[in-house]
Amino acid sequence: MADSEGPRKDSEEELFGKELGLMHKVIVTGRKIGVGKRFWTALADDERFFHDVMEFVNTRLSNIFTIVRRGKTFSELIVLGKYNNVVHLDSLERDGRSLATAKRRTVELISFSYSPTPETVLAAFERKGLKRPDYEDALEFGAQYPDEQRKRTIVFLVSRIIPGTMCCNAVVLHGNDQMRYFDGNCAFNGGLSCKHVFAGVRESR
């Protein structure tokens, strides 16, 4: 017989226990990277400091996404992306038809306050423990997070710097409230607006 009172809700005591468990994990992780009493005291006593930390975390999380690489063909992913306009598909087909088996990847969008060069972007990836993305990352991101490119232009540097050119091949996702665009082969050598963001990747746990 169904419960007439609806879904069961956790009691305050149960929620408190779960919060204690989560806080213990936070403290253990903090200790691993050298966080000490001074930080925790400031977090507990200083509301402004707590707010600043929260703002930083929220901003960082708004630029981190998890994608599932589903082993689909490039053509299938273009269809799933539901773009209004697609250009330079021929280079995608030339650069790879068989895709990796399904796996999860974390995509982090990196912004700059200036117009970076390819070397600058790749160096920022290395500092953050990120790798250069590939075509499948760009295609899956566009299909799984279609509205992100409406907010800002997203650049995926899908090649190393080409010798003698100081240039990278890039996939670019951009758009606005009405339209979404996919460009499968842009030559990037810097000179983009600081409103552009660059996608780096790492394996998800």
**pTM, full prediction:** 0.72
* Separation in Å, CA 5 to CA 2, 13, 15, 117, 125: 9, 20, 20, 60, 51
Sheet-wide strand order for 180-188: 64-69, 103-111, 197-203, 154-157, 168-175, 180-188, 85-87
Q: Which amino acid is at 123?
A: A
Q: What are the φ and ψ backbone dihedral angles of 27, each rounded to 5 degrees?
A: -65, -45
Could you give the angle at the alpha carbon of 83 between the alpha carbons of 111 and 181, nearest 5°? 45
pLDDT in tens, 16-38: 556 777 888 888 888 898 888 88
> Which residue numbers in the chain have pLDDT < 50?
1-2, 94-95, 97-98
d(CA 161, CA 184): 17
Environment class of residue 176 by beta-carbon count within 10 Å: exposed (0-12), middle (13-18) or buried (19+)?
exposed
d(CA 96, CA 89): 11
d(CA 135, CA 110): 18
Q: What pLDDT is recorded for position 1?
A: 43
Q: What pLDDT is recorded for position 93?
A: 56
Q: What pLDDT is recorded for position 60?
A: 67
Instruction: With H, G, I as helix, E, B as strand and everything else as coil, classify residue 82.
Output: coil
Instruction: With H, G, I as helix, E, B as strand and everything else as coil, classify residue 16.
Output: helix
Q: What pLDDT is recorded for position 199?
A: 97
Q: What pLDDT is recorded for position 95?
A: 47
Q: What pLDDT is recorded for position 71?
A: 85
H or E element, residue 23: helix 12-32
Q: What pLDDT is recorded for position 94?
A: 47
Q: What pLDDT is recorded for position 36?
A: 86
